[in-house]
Structure formats: structure tokens, C-alpha cells
Structure 1
Amino acid sequence: MNAILSHLIDEHFLLIIVRVLIALLLSGLIGFERELKNHSAGFRTHILVGVGSCLMMVLSLYGFEAYIEKYDNVRFDPARIPSYVISGIGFLGAGTIMVYGGTIRGLTTAASIWAVAGLGLVVGAGMYAVALFTTLIILLSLVFLNNFEKLFTKGKSSMVVEIVSYPNLAINKVVSVFEESNIKVRQVEVLKVENDLRSIFIKVEPNEELNRIRLFESLSSIDAVKSVSER
């Protein structure tokens, strides 16, 4: 029994467990911030990326020691697997980027996923202080810089409203609702979806007196409108 356990649990087991747990904690903090803002990649996604990349890093560091000791011609390159993690994480980040009526959404979440992958690799390498400092910087950027940016873009902000409707909807009725609310329409895009439904993305420039609840109620009351949401 002891022989089996010693074979399954090596000298690096506890160290690896600690690093995976730290990666879980740090990536979870960033994912929780994304979850609070209702982004597509939230708490679970960031944890999986952080823990997975940490696992790949410790695999690169400790997973091939037996082969190195047994075979003299085996070369140790701990940077090989992490390099593939960094380049391969792009497909997951790209999945969070979406275009609504000419407005690109999800770039920040894609960047946070890429950063969390880096955090996992750093924690897997045992660079805890760097990981903690970087997590703090990322959280400050996500939480506070967003409000700081709004100070400079005040008056230039835009909003994208998605209206799911049936084909018989007259778009001019929708536009008239925005005009009655003194909202400037910048762009209108119509996309056909399944089950004879279509999505209408309307990019508008909201005013300071905008009442979103009243606006959405007015849009929802139009015949053939199935749902209204803000993107």
C-alpha cells in the first residue's frame, strides 16, 4: 500500500497542490469581477483557465524528471509547454468577442482570460509575489479604470439595444420610439436568426435624462417585438 502511494504521490505533490490552489484563488478573484458585470466568461471560466495553465506549468517543470534522469539524451525545456498555452488561449478569448450593431464587446474579458492564463503559468513556476502583484494590478484596472475612462468619454458614450422580433415588425416604429425619447440613433443592423425571428441591433447615443425602463417598456409594447435587451 505504501509503495502504491509513494508511486502516486511524489515529493512535489504538496508543492503542486499549493500552487494549483493559489492559481484557483487569484484567477477566481478576477473571474468574480467579470461575473458581477454579467460577462460571458465569468467565475468558472477564469478559474478553469488559471488552474489549467498552472497545471501545464507544473507539468513542464516536474512532469518529465523521471525521463531526464533515465535517459541522457532527453533535453529539458520548461518553456515549451507554457509557450503553447499562451498562443493557444487565443481561441477561448476570441469566443468572448462579439459584434453588436458595429459595437465590439468582450475585448476586456478576452484580455482578462489571456492575463489569467499568464497568472496560472507564473504561479505554476512558483513566482507568488509577482502573481499577487499582477492580480492586484488587473483588478484595479478592471474595477477603477473603467470609471476613470468614463470621465473622459462622458457625453460620447453609446448604447446598443437588441430587439428580437418577428419579420412583420416595422423598423420605423422602433426608430420613432427613440426619437420620441430624444435619443439619437447612430446605426441600425438587422440579422436573421432561426425560427423566423430576427435580431435588430440599434446603436444609439443616450442622453442624460434617459429612462431605460420606460424606453424598454415602449419598445416591448410594439407589435411583433419578442424581447428587448441592452448590450
Structure 2
Amino acid sequence: MKTTITRANERGVANYGWLKPAHYFSFGGWHEPTKVHFGALRVLNDDWIAGGGAFPTHPHDNMEIVTIPFTGALQHKDSTGGAGIIKAGDIQIMSAGSGVQHSEANASPTEPVTLFQVWVFPKEKNITPRYDQRTFDINDRNEKWQTVVSPLDADAALWINQDAAFSLTNRAAQQTITYQHKFNNSGVYLVVIDGVVEVEGNKLNKRDAIGIAEVDQFDITIHENASLLAIEVPMQF
């Protein structure tokens, strides 16, 4: 097993007033040569957006962009005609493909939004841009893995243009659980959304993350009630 750890206090942070991001990988004005990507995972931003805050229309291409809100509501519009408002329990994905323009805004003028935004390099370049979102039952991730993004089961998860999977779980303390890889030769970037866990002797607290490669499964010991996000991606792409 090969591991790499990013502690919450090692992330790149900024404060723009209306936006307070924390970057797990080099992004914007923060560049850390040892933290550029994990396999096909290029960006993981932990964002706080103030009421009324907005990203104006801007371009993307050849990137799979997944947004996972925790509190508040985020409004999205793009040049494919895709539009929607997402909140906790919802997952949004945009395949930028050959090129797309989009904007994002806090849907509330007063209440903040908190979210993860994740970028994954695509499997096939220059596809027709696409947008999708879905509401998932948060209770369905209690004491089990809930896969919300995957190309393997379009009925159960949002499709992604990559051999990648996003899975969430909420677990009670004092147990050991297993993550089984869904793809060969993949790695998993495990983020502790909340709680305290341990992987391979490494204790991880809230917003810590560990990249795990060169295995096809691994165990996680839950020390305190925890919410986890597992992002499985190809290590070679």
C-alpha cells in the first residue's frame, strides 16, 4: 500500500470575503509541487460562499466537475442549457468536454453555502458537454457506502466520463469498515468530512485526507462518529 496524507491545516487557503476556499491540490494562486494531483483527481476544493456570492460565467473544457453541497443552496447555469439548484443530499456533475461556459451562485442572499467541488480528468476528451444532478437519500449512506457517481450503474449513480467512483458513508464509532475498489489499478482519495478515523496506523481528523494506492481494498477504523467521502480514480490515465 502506498499512502499520501494531507492534513486540514496543510491545505492552501484564501479569503476573498465572499469566498473562503481550502485547496487539497494546487489551485489558483496556491501552488504546492507535492500536491498537484492524485492520479486522475486534479482538484478538491472545500468552499465557503457567502450569501449573495457568485462565480461569474467562466469557461471549462475536458474536465469532469462534481459538486457536493453540505449546507445552503447553490444555483448553476451553463451554456448547454443545464440549470438547477442543489443543496445537501444533491450531487451535481458537469462534463465540460469540448468546452462549456457556466456560472455558480449562492441561491440565498443571506445564508452561506458550504460544498466540495471536485475535478477529475476525463477518460475521453472533447465529448459533447453535459450536465446532470440528482437527489440522494442521505439516510441511505448510514452504515454503508452510497455510491453517487460512477459509470457502472446509471440507475443508481450519476454517470461520469471516467473509470471513477464517488462514495459517501456515515458511520458510528468503534467499528472497522472496508472499502473495496470498483476498478483495477485505481487509487482512492479518502476525505474525512467529519469525525476521527484511522487508516494504516494514520489517525485522521475532520477534513484530513489520505490517498491510497497499490491495493484493491483497505480498512478504516472509526474512532468517533464519522462522515467520509471516497473518490476512486485511475492512477494512470
Using the size of structure 1 for normalisation, the TM-score is 0.24
Instruction: Tell me which structure has the larger Cα radius of gyration.
Output: 1
More helix by share: 1
- Under a length normalisation based on structure 2, what TM-score does the superposition of the two structures give? 0.23
